[in-house]
Amino acid sequence: MAASKALLPLVTLVVVAFGQDQHIPSEFYSSVVNMELLLKSELAILDRLDRLILLSEEKVAFLKRERDRLRADIEGAEESPLVYVSNPVSAFLMTKRLVKDYQDIDELIRKGVGIDLIDGTTVLPTEEDLQGIAEGLSRLQDLYMMEATDLAKGNVYGHKLVRELTPDECYRVGLALAQGKYFTNANQWFREALRRWKAEDSPGISKFEILDYFTYSLTEDGEHEEAMKLTEELLKLDPKNAAVLSKKKVIQDWLDHVELNGRTVKPPRAVPHPLYEPLCRGDHQRPPSETSNLYCRYHMSTSPFLRLAPLKQEVVNLDPFVAVYHDAASDAEINKVIELGRPQINRSMVGDAAKKEVSKSRTSQNSWLTDYDHPVVAALSRRTKDMALGLDETAYESLQVNNYGIGGHYLPHYDWSREENPYPELNTGNRIATLMFYLSDVEEGGATVFPHLGVGVFPKKGTAIFWYNLRASGKGDEKTLHGACPVLIGSKWVANKWIHERHQEFVRPCDPDPEK
């Protein structure tokens, strides 16, 4: 079979050598004239074979250059895969290569050598993944105040990429951001792409292509003067381009509108709470009046076992009660939980069982583990009771294991429900408290913040955080608004244990005073 495949190009050459319209004799040996035709055929085949070899050599040389370039982009990634894939810029570039570059190479060689670079077993991202990473990068740019100029140099909050980005790569980031309607950040990347295009001899993309989408993004962002200036540059490159001429008219109409009616004030970027971003960056410091009564202690009052192995409790807020427990889970327990949860993770959703939906307000994946799945899970449930000040375990939900993606976050929200009949599928009332285990360290970002309290807790592997969601009256506590900050560098794993109010009457008696 392999030999017959190898002969196909030569058979094709023979057919081409005679030509489609030339008469092909039924036999050759009986005529010298016909034998001369065979000589012409052989000479033509050899000429075409020379050309085929030359083209094949050029193709192989091109593939070798592409391979070397692509391999250089992941230098060191195999030794530190987590560091590489959790960097938002390198993650975007890797996804772009898998979505586009390798597909182009596969298309080039698929019909040539009988080897599929990409087959049915290859795991590939989609354009949706590329868009999701771009949105995560935009969040990180805003929250951690990072400029595209620095990111393009490979500087990500003190972490350096193996090389700087090319003009084409800067353009691709800007394109993804503009398609997601993050025009202000997209313009930074287009501007950087244009600057780098002017500085490089082989930029890998045309100036026209950069300017074409850059002017669109500027117009959408209300930057009409700069959009008009760059549109004039487009027309110098292609004076008769109908689409550019039409674009110029649209921009001029906007400029005329601004001159007549004044410039529309661009609304400030929406933030969930004034303290949300400072807390995420670690910039906010609470005054002594709020911290002077906080304390650390060995907690040993929940169960007799704690007298032998007390919990290290750090109280970070008194009303509502919020405490961090140090060394709450061992590395072996954490590894087992991640091992059990990893194969089952799916995109996290928001809402209760009747209204669950995927939302951009929560970008993570999760899975659920019960006490019956493994003794380690059951052990963490028992330890949860000790850290949750004795709240009855019959009203615990299963353990939810979460992993956050690139720029992964969960905007400020409440764990308790406002519904009159909350969580009807469980029939255990509202969520009275939350306990969350941190299953990994995070190099940068990923804090759990309580904007109304001015409290921020950064992930530390093995620690856990506990807080009450309901007041003593059973009403939801508005001060427990909390969020998971975007992960800048690293992989954030957490495990949540939600505790409901039924069966807690003797552990935390209800107070009839609605203000308590």
Ranges in the chain, pLDDT < 70 = 1-38, 41-42, 111-117, 350-356, 358, 361, 514, 516
Tokens at residue 381, please? 């449930």
Cα 35 from Cα 476, distance rounded (Å): 98
The whole-number pLDDT of residue 354 equals 59
**SS3 state of residue 317:** strand
Residue with tokens 């995927």: 358
**SS3 state of residue 483:** strand
Measure Cα distances from 349 to 86, 402, 454 in Å. Answer: 22, 11, 27
Tokens at residue 211, please? 């300017």
Burial 211-234 (b: 16+ CB within 10 A, else e): bbbbbbbbbebbbbebbbebbeeb
Measure Cα distances from 362 to 255, 294, 342, 402 in Å. Answer: 39, 31, 18, 11
The whole-number pLDDT of residue 33 equals 55
Q: Domains, the chain, ranges and CATH? A: 146-261 (1.25.40.10), 287-350+357-500 (2.60.120.620)
Tokens at residue 297, please? 């202690």
Q: Which runs of consecutive H residues, i.e. helices, occur in 19-87?
A: 32-73, 81-86
Q: Which amino acid is at 375?
A: P
The whole-number pLDDT of residue 63 equals 86
